[in-house]
């Protein structure tokens, strides 16, 4: 019988992935075999995309069950076993002892990478970000082999990005733990309601501390339960109506408890942005009301008029209730007052995913495994969109390999009557705006995605021209991750985004909202501009490289909501016949 995971309640998949990924980075720094480096990074990616807790997998079948997960070999499975059973991994600690702590800190700089970080450390003895900034200001890096003045500028930009992001985390890092905590709170008999609040409830792409709110007539019981959960690493503060904890992955969660009568007012107050709430309070003041976290009150009599639900708070001001995602004071208050709030796209509206990678290129799962995940998500269709040959670093497919894949997909469609598998491909947009294959190959594909994968620092005119040329290609249906940003790692390309939006609408090319949590590209304000000003249409895709990444769709949908998109704006929400018709409109 397999050992039981003694620390399963405390070690989450994300925590394990961080450690395995760090092992890969340290092996890279130490000059170890690149196969071992890639193996650890692939395993970390697979763990992040795996939807079932690893401790459950281990409890059911031991380390052998772990190796059944794509990307996890025997050695990695044994290390995961050590973490699950003992909560410690000696091999990880041994590597940390070999790698100078300062060097690990340098790895946080977007775009620096293990090899360059080690060269800077070995050549200049730099062991902190502060020292690195000083070295750049003195231009000491440009004399190193493989560096230069441009490298210094890029590294300095990366440091600034890291410092900006350092106080905030990706939405995807905070949302799962908040959902986990909320689920436990809602199970308790003394909790009437519980929700997220703040930037997390508005589903901003990055968040600060995690704010939770619950209603109860027994606040002491709520607080005692909250600070005693197995996810708690330590308690920062405990009060009668507010407590703060730090969970095992280092995130801070703050919980407030209010009475059921106050809950709607508190939820509204702690959800809206500062600007949204100031605007709302101004409207209330004009009408002789006062709004705070305890309710809506008559200014003259101090009589409490509303506050049990959010709907009450907005209704007393003659408004519809704006969805939480758009409470940013960007026109939603006026729309609510005029009864013209949009019916925002919902996760339940999504019928498929246009951007999924498999083992055929740089994904970790087979097409069959992707199909299985799609069925659990209730999808009607998926598009297999592996890389094409010009992106050899990502295992891009040749024409011959693509023809083989077409045959495999045709056979799979015969086997699976309840889902349609479309054959697509992600083409690389080269420096001239051309893609890997010509019309004779592209016409065989159901969907063609065109994406930029290099030359990110080219002049604005050059980058824009590449995208505009690709948009003119009658076979390119979708522009993938249009601005190329990676949150905390790489800024958006310097492009004329309005020219891209205009060409997208004119050519009937869809713009992708890439749901991968560190991309969320296009971002919310770009989505709204592209839709409202230019009339663009969109796809929401996960760019999944692990089958489990397909669940990232919820982050894309949340971003779409923040961009005021409705289901009519999103190709994924249409039935298969309509999808094919709309894709075919651009074809010659």
Spell out a b/e string for 127-165, using b for 16 or more CB atoms within 10 Å of the CB, else e.
bebeebbebbeeebbeebeebeeebbebbbbbbebbeeb
In a domain, 342, yes or no: no
What beta strand segments (E) does 180-301 contain?
193-196, 206-207, 210-215, 232-238, 242-247, 252-258, 289-292, 295-298
Question: What's the token pair of residue 415?
Answer: 């086997």
The CATH code of the domain that includes 72 is 1.10.150.110
In a domain, 67, yes or no: yes
Last residue of a domain, one of 166, 190, 211: 166
Are residue 436 and residue 484 in the same domain, yes or no? Answer: yes
In a domain, 119, yes or no: yes
Are residue 106 and residue 94 in the same domain, yes or no? Answer: no
Last residue of a domain, one of 314, 337, 360: 337
Query: Bridge partners of 510?
Result: 478
Last residue of a domain, one of 98, 127, 154: 98
* DSSP string computed for 343-390: -B--GGG--EEEEE--TTTT-SS-HHHHHHHHHHTT-SEEEEEEEBTT
Q: Cβ atoms within 10 A of the Cβ of 339, count?
A: 9
In a domain, 1, yes or no: no
Are residue 529 and residue 479 in the same domain, yes or no? Answer: yes
Are residue 116 and residue 177 in the same domain, yes or no? Answer: no
In a domain, 285, yes or no: yes
Nearest residue to 41 (alpha-carbon basis) of 545, 401, 456, 455: 545
Rg, C-alpha atoms of the chain: 26
The CATH code of the domain that includes 152 is 1.10.150.20
Are residue 111 and residue 46 in the same domain, yes or no? Answer: no
**Residue 127 confidence (pLDDT):** 73
Are residue 252 and residue 268 in the same domain, yes or no? Answer: no
What is the SS3 assignment for 520?
A: coil
Measured CA to CA, the distance from residue 85 to residue 79 in angstroms comes to 10
Question: Distances from the Cα of 156 to the Cαs of 139, 180, 317, 348, in angstroms?
Answer: 11, 38, 49, 43
What is the SS3 assignment for 534?
A: coil
Are residue 57 and residue 112 in the same domain, yes or no? Answer: no
Are residue 450 and residue 303 in the same domain, yes or no? Answer: no
Measured CA to CA, the distance from residue 476 to residue 558 in angstroms comes to 26
In a domain, 36, yes or no: yes
In a domain, 93, yes or no: yes
The residue segments making up the domain with residue 47 are 13-98
* DSSP string computed for 378-441: T-SEEEEEEEBTT-GGGTPBPHHHHHHHHHHHHHHHHH-TTSEEEEEEEEE--TTS--SS-HHH
Return the ∠ at Cα 110 (arms to 89 and 552), rounded to 5°: 70
Query: Bridge partners of 449?
Result: 426, 478
**Residue 165 confidence (pLDDT):** 56
Tell me if 370 sits within 8 A of 382, measured CB to CB.
Answer: yes
Are residue 444 and residue 528 in the same domain, yes or no? Answer: yes
User: Which positions of the chain have pLDDT values less than 50?
Assistant: 1-2, 7-9
The CATH code of the domain that includes 230 is 3.30.460.10
Report the run of H or E that residue 447 belongs to, with start and end: strand 447-451
Q: Cβ atoms within 10 A of the Cβ of 65, count?
A: 17
Measured CA to CA, the distance from residue 362 to residue 387 in angstroms comes to 8
The CATH code of the domain that includes 314 is 3.30.210.10
Torsion angle defined by CA atoms of residues 308, 285, 299 and 296, in that order, rounded to the nearest 10 degrees: 0
Task: Report how far apart the first and last C-alpha atoms of the chain are (Å, whole number).
Answer: 62
305's CB contacts (< 8 A; 6+ apart) are: 289, 295, 296, 297, 298, 316
Give me the sign of the Cα torsion angle 447, 359, 69, 413: positive
What is the SS3 assignment for 476?
A: coil
The tens digit of pLDDT for each residue in 346-391 reads 999 999 999 999 999 988 899 999 999 999 999 999 999 999 988 7
Measured CA to CA, the distance from residue 358 to residue 376 in angstroms comes to 17
Are residue 20 and residue 136 in the same domain, yes or no? Answer: no
Q: What are phi and psi of 521, to 5 degrees?
A: -125, 105
Q: Cβ atoms within 10 A of the Cβ of 542, count?
A: 26
Distance of CA 490 to the CA centre of its chain: 15
- Structural domain count, the chain: 5
Distance of CA 317 to the CA centre of its chain: 35
Measured CA to CA, the distance from residue 509 to residue 497 in angstroms comes to 14
**Residue 3 confidence (pLDDT):** 58
Are residue 371 and residue 475 in the same domain, yes or no? Answer: yes
In a domain, 236, yes or no: yes
Question: Distances from the Cα of 257 to the Cαs of 198, 205, 213, 273, in angstroms?
Answer: 15, 26, 6, 20
Are residue 116 and residue 239 in the same domain, yes or no? Answer: no
**Residue 324 confidence (pLDDT):** 97
């Amino acid at each position: 019988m397999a050992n039981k995971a003694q620390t399963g309640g405390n070690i989450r998949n994300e925590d394990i992935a961080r450690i395995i990924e760090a092992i890969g980075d340290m092996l890279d720094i130490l000059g170890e075999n690149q196969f071992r480096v890639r193996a650890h990074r692939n395993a970390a990616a697979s763990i992040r995309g795996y939807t079932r807790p690893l401790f459950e997998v281990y409890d059911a079948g031991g380390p052998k069950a772990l190796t059944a997960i794509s990307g996890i070999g025997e050695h990695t499975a044994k290390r995961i076993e050590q973490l699950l059973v003992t909560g410690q991994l000696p091999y990880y600690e041994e590597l940390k002892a070999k790698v100078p702590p300062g060097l690990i800190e340098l790895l946080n700089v977007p775009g620096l990478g293990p090899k360059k970080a080690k060269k800077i450390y070995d050549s200049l003895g730099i062991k902190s970000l502060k020292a690195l900034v000083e070295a750049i200001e003195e231009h000491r890096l440009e004399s190193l082999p493989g560096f230069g003045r441009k490298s210094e500028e890029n590294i300095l930009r990366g440091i600034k990005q890291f410092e900006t992001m350092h106080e905030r985390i990706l939405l995807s890092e905070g949302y799962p733990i908040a959902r986990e905590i909320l689920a436990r709170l809602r199970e308790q008999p003394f909790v009437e309601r519980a929700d997220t609040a703040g930037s997390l409830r508005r589903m901003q792409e990055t968040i600060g501390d995690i704010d939770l709110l619950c209603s109860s007539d027994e606040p002491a019981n709520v607080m005692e339960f909250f600070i005693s959960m197995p996810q708690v690493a330590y308690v920062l503060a405990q009060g009668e109506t507010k407590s703060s904890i730090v969970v095992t992955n280092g995130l801070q969660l703050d919980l407030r408890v209010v009475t059921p009568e106050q809950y709607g007012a508190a939820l509204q107050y702690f959800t809206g942005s500062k600007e949204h709430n100031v605007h709302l309070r101004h409207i209330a003041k004009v009408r002789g009301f006062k709004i705070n976290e305890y309710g809506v009150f008559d200014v003259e009599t101090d009589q409490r008029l509303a506050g049990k639900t959010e709907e009450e708070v907005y209704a007393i001001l003659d408004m519809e209730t704006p969805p939480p995602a758009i409470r940013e004071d960007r026109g939603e208050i006026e729309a609510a007052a005029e009864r013209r709030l949009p019916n925002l796209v919902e996760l339940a509206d999504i019928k498929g995913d246009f951007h999924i990678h498999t083992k055929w290129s740089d994904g970790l799962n087979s097409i069959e495994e992707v199909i299985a995940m799609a069925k659990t998500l209730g999808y009607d269709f998926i598009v297999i969109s592996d890389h094409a040959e010009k992106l050899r670093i990502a295992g891009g497919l040749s024409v011959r390999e693509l023809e083989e894949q077409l045959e495999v997909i045709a056979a799979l469609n015969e086997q699976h009557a309840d889902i349609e598998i479309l054959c697509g491909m992600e083409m690389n947009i080269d420096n001239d705006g051309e893609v890997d294959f010509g019309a004779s190959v592209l016409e065989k594909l159901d969907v063609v995605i065109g994406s930029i994968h290099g030359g990110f620092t080219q002049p604005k005119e050059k980058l824009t021209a590449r995208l505009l040329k690709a948009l003119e290609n009658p076979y390119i249906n979708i522009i993938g991750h249009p601005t190329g940003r990676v949150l905390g790692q790489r800024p958006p390309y310097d492009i004329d985004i309005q020219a891209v939006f205009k060409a997208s609408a004119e050519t009937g090319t869809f713009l992708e909202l890439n749901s991968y949590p560190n991309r969320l590209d296009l971002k919310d304000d770009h989505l709204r501009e592209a839709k409202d000003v230019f009339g663009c249409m969109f796809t929401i895709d996960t760019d999944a490289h692990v089958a489990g990444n397909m669940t990232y769709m919820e982050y894309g949908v949340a971003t779409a909501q923040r961009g005021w998109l409705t289901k009519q704006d999103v190709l994924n929400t249409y039935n298969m016949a309509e999808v094919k018709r709309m894709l075919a409109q651009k074809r010659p």
